[in-house]
Amino acid sequence: MAKPTGFIEYQREVPPDRAPEERIKDWNEFHLPVLEEKLQIQGARCMDCGIPFCHTGQIISGMAAGCPVNNLIPEWNDLVYRGHWRMALDRLHKTNNFPEFTGRVCPAPCEGSCTAGRMGDPVSIKSIECAIVDKGFEEGWIVPEPPPFRTGKKVAVVGSGPAGLAAAAQLNRAGHLVTVYERADRIGGLLTYGIPNMKLDKGIVQRRVDILAAEGVTFVTGVEIGVDMSAEELRAEFDAIVLCGGATKPRDLPIEGRNLKGIHFAMEFLQGNTRHLLNGNGPKVGWEKRSGYGEFISAEGKDVLVIGGGDTGTDCVGTSLRHGCKSLVQLEILSRPPDERAADNPWPEWPKVYKLDYGQEEYKALYGDDPRQYTITAKRFVGDEDGNLKEVHTVNVEWVNENGRFIPRDVPGTEKVYPAQLVLLAMGFLGPEETILGKLNVEQDERGNAKAEHGKFATNLPGVFAAGDMRRGQSLVVWAINEGRGAARECDRYLMGSTVLP
């Protein structure tokens, strides 16, 4: 594949980003375009390794190694190197319905498993993927392709995140009549309201939704199954159902002072911000009106404390900086990762190493340091006489082995007080909300997820399938696409007796 000596001749290059000091002034995407010639050189670095792990998508040590949708990476790297962009796009779409999403927001486990990365820098797979699909749209190669026939079978997809959209795209391709139900006022799920605009422009999401609609998929917004439409109605109206509602129940921090004003779940903050960006202060409908998740929460002029060090915490950092917060601290209960792979984290596992994501990079450019404080936890929130948050009391922790299990233990004498008028809880998600699963009587596993075997995706109810975070728990966009495609395949098999879907 590509140029056999390319990984020796050329150095890794990734797309440049706009300067942090500039990009925090707006909500536009921060990656800059790359010249085609440079991308072809990067494609040449794919080393004809003979044993590519980049596309395997297997789970090693509890994390993805290689691409979960099994992208044919060496093939389209070679095609880009040779200038065959249209063919590269065809190979990319063969396994991935939405490379414009994964090319922007995926953490790229494929690069962590790249053979070239064993002794040097991996191929810049993610940026090549994004460039292929962006060129496809620019050249007009990506157009609606309605199915040549209809089966007459009706399928409901509940949830319009990456799993739901992937399931809908595949089922529509098989000729079924697909209706997607979304409780928010816009289609896209976490792609729209969970990921900030500077990481994934909402016009890019809507562009793909428009194509799916032109291909025959029906989208219904502002409808929550089990609330606005009963589970009985849904089952009576459709021949099959695919549940893709996500894992939206946030992990709470029930410590003293939790009820003070100014403490919010990260998604309240992020969803309200995106909705404000798209709608201004327009009227709320459906779920936003009932839940308050459409309310705009400003960090402007406030001391902000983000609790949680993952992607959602990073998004809170980047959003708070764009609001013009007074100060910002990010607490992480885990230890700081090493600068290089540890001995117990070998290739092709995902490299658990220290890195600055875009939010921390922006903070460091402004203030000279990483905002993250490691091995530290909040112990209590303290407010003023009006019930408003004013400070957070913390303590450092050490991780100790107790009966073979590592647990955090407070370190005496390390107590500290941080001023804070806004705390954002970004500690992950516990699983799906119970409304629809309970109303449908879908069997759940010990974590509360819809119980359905990966590869089969069938729940305990005939004709009802589950995919994405609702089935597997909080995970990556690329895993959601994998599951949506898989659930569509098995749903098609259920409806027709056999399937041609991959």
Q: Give the DSSP H/E element, type plus range, for residue 472.
A: helix 469-472
Per residue in 328-352, pLDDT tens?
999 999 999 999 999 999 999 999 9
Q: What tokens does 400 get?
A: 């100790």
Q: If we measure between CA atoms, which residue out of 393, 425, 407 comes closest to residue 256?
A: 393
Give the separation between CA 308 and CA 359, rounded to whole angstroms.
13
Where residue 292 falls (left for φ over 0; alpha for ψ -120 to 50; beta otherwise) is left
Per residue in 25-69, pLDDT tens?
999 999 998 899 999 999 999 988 888 999 998 888 888 899 999
Maximum separation of any 2 CA atoms in the chain, in Å: 71
- Give SS3 for 402: strand
**What is residue 288's predicted lDDT score, i.e. its pLDDT?**
72
**What is residue 51's predicted lDDT score, i.e. its pLDDT?**
85
Per residue in 120-168, pLDDT tens?
999 999 999 999 999 999 999 999 999 999 999 999 999 999 999 999 9
**What is residue 462's predicted lDDT score, i.e. its pLDDT?**
97
Give the separation between CA 164 and CA 230, rounded to whole angstroms.
19
Where residue 262 falls (left for φ over 0; alpha for ψ -120 to 50; beta otherwise) is left
Q: If we measure between CA atoms, which residue out of 394, 337, 389, 390 comes closest to residue 360?
A: 337
**What is residue 434's predicted lDDT score, i.e. its pLDDT?**
82
Beta bridge partners of 161: none
**What is residue 435's predicted lDDT score, i.e. its pLDDT?**
85
Q: If we measure between CA atoms, which residue out of 185, 481, 432, 427 comes closest to residue 312?
A: 427
**What is residue 224's predicted lDDT score, i.e. its pLDDT?**
93
The reply to whether CATH 3.50.50.60 applies to domain 154-248+430-496 is yes
**What is residue 160's predicted lDDT score, i.e. its pLDDT?**
98
**Whole-model pTM?**
0.95
**What is residue 283's predicted lDDT score, i.e. its pLDDT?**
65
Give the separation between CA 238 and CA 225, rounded to whole angstroms.
13
Asked if residue 91 lies in contact with residue 79, where contact means CB atoms within 8 angstroms, the answer is: yes
What confidence category does residue 111 fall into, taking pLDDT thresholds of 50, 70 and 90? very high
CATH 3.50.50.60 location in the chain: 154-248+430-496, 252-427
Q: What burial letters (b/e) apply to 40-62, b meaning 16+ CB within 10 Å?
A: bbbbbbbbebeebbbbbbeebee
Report the topology of domain 252-427.
FAD/NAD(P)-binding domain (3.50.50)
**What is residue 285's predicted lDDT score, i.e. its pLDDT?**
66
Spatial neighbors of 4 by CB under 8 A, at least 6 apart, are 47, 48
Q: Give the DSSP H/E element, type plus range, for residue 37.
A: helix 36-44
Q: Give the DSSP H/E element, type plus range, for residue 238.
A: none
**What is residue 292's predicted lDDT score, i.e. its pLDDT?**
65
Per residue in 377-400, pLDDT tens?
999 999 999 999 999 999 999 999
Q: Give the DSSP H/E element, type plus range, for residue 51.
A: none
Q: How many CA atoms lie within 13 A of 452 on its CB side?
A: 32
**What is residue 47's predicted lDDT score, i.e. its pLDDT?**
84
Per residue in 163-201, pLDDT tens?
999 999 999 999 999 999 999 999 999 999 999 999 999
Q: If we measure between CA atoms, which residue out of 309, 194, 289, 286 comes closest to residue 248?
A: 194
Report the topology of domain 6-138.
Fumarate Reductase Iron-sulfur Protein; Chain B, domain 2 (1.10.1060)
Mean pLDDT of 418-432: 96
How many whole angstroms from its chain centre is CA 50? 31
How many whole angstroms from its chain centre is CA 122? 22
User: Could you give the C-alpha distances from 321 to 63, 296, 367, in angstroms and in order?
Assistant: 31, 15, 11
Burial class (CB in 10 A: 0-12, 13-18, 19+), 144: exposed
Q: What burial letters (b/e) apply to 450-464, b meaning 16+ CB within 10 Å?
A: bbbeeeebbbebebb
Omega before residue 254 within 30° of 0, cis: no
What confidence category does residue 404 fall into, taking pLDDT thresholds of 50, 70 and 90? confident
What confidence category does residue 295 fall into, taking pLDDT thresholds of 50, 70 and 90? confident
> Strands (DSSP E) along 168-245, which ranges?
177-182, 218-221, 240-243
Per residue in 356-371, pLDDT tens?
999 999 999 999 999 9
How many whole angstroms from its chain centre is CA 177? 27
Give the separation between CA 318 and CA 312, rounded to whole angstroms.
10
Mean model confidence pLDDT for the chain: 95
Give the separation between CA 256 and CA 379, rounded to whole angstroms.
7
Burial class (CB in 10 A: 0-12, 13-18, 19+), 93: middle
CATH 1.10.1060.10 location in the chain: 6-138
**What is residue 243's predicted lDDT score, i.e. its pLDDT?**
98
Spatial neighbors of 469 by CB under 8 A, at least 6 apart, are 161, 163, 246, 247, 248, 429, 432, 475, 480
Question: How many CB atoms neighbour CB 150 within 10 A?
Answer: 13
